[in-house]
Amino acid sequence: IPNTVKSAMKILAQGGVDMVNVHASGGLKMMQQAKAGLQEGALNGQAPLLIAVTQLTSTSQAQMNDEQKIQGLIQESVQNYATLTQSAGLDGVVCSPLEAQLIKENISGDFLTITPGIRLTAKSTDDQTRIMTPRDAAQNGSDYIVVGRPITQADNPIETYKYILNE
């Protein structure tokens, strides 16, 4: 709830973190209170970046429609959450790299897109359903990419990391 989120964010900000997230489905007031908490707890007046999750990269169209009972296209849901997030004054959203360009086209300013679901090939999905390669994600407007298993499960994580940087 908004008050609990505000309290938690104040503590997180005092820990000196650079970026924190909430889920946009918590609503406008919750996101506004999250931002207020970060600002109250900010060290040296510098609050961490605050972003909101839209739809998980493992969420499929069918899952969103059938389990979450959100009708329409997944892109519409992501865009709706992004618009709500901007209205709350947050810095950006977590979305799949497939939606980064859509968000950039529809939300003005320095609104950030943080994109998990990064895979080295389009065939390596694991439990992700909406993925892109590092290069494609960057070309599609991702400001930050989130790479987990392609590095952590690689035979040579350092070489994989360097490969991704080169991409």
- Report the distance separating Cα 29 and Cα 6, nearest Å: 10
Q: What is the pLDDT of residue 122?
A: 59
**Distances in Å between the alpha carbon of 74 and those of 5, 95, 106, 118, 122?**
26, 11, 16, 18, 19
- Report the distance separating Cα 101 and Cα 62, nearest Å: 22
What mean pLDDT comes out for the span 129-154?
92
pLDDT digits 0-9 by tens, 106-138: 998 899 999 998 998 756 666 777 889 999 999
Q: What is the pLDDT of residue 57?
A: 86
pLDDT of 73 above 80: yes
Q: What is the pLDDT of residue 155?
A: 94
pLDDT digits 0-9 by tens, 52-64: 999 998 899 999 9
pLDDT of 1 above 90: yes
pLDDT of 105 above 70: yes
The pLDDT-based confidence of 87 (bands split at 50, 70, 90) is: very high
pLDDT digits 0-9 by tens, 8-66: 999 999 998 999 999 999 999 999 999 999 999 998 889 999 999 999 988 999 999 99
Is pTM beyond 0.85 here? yes
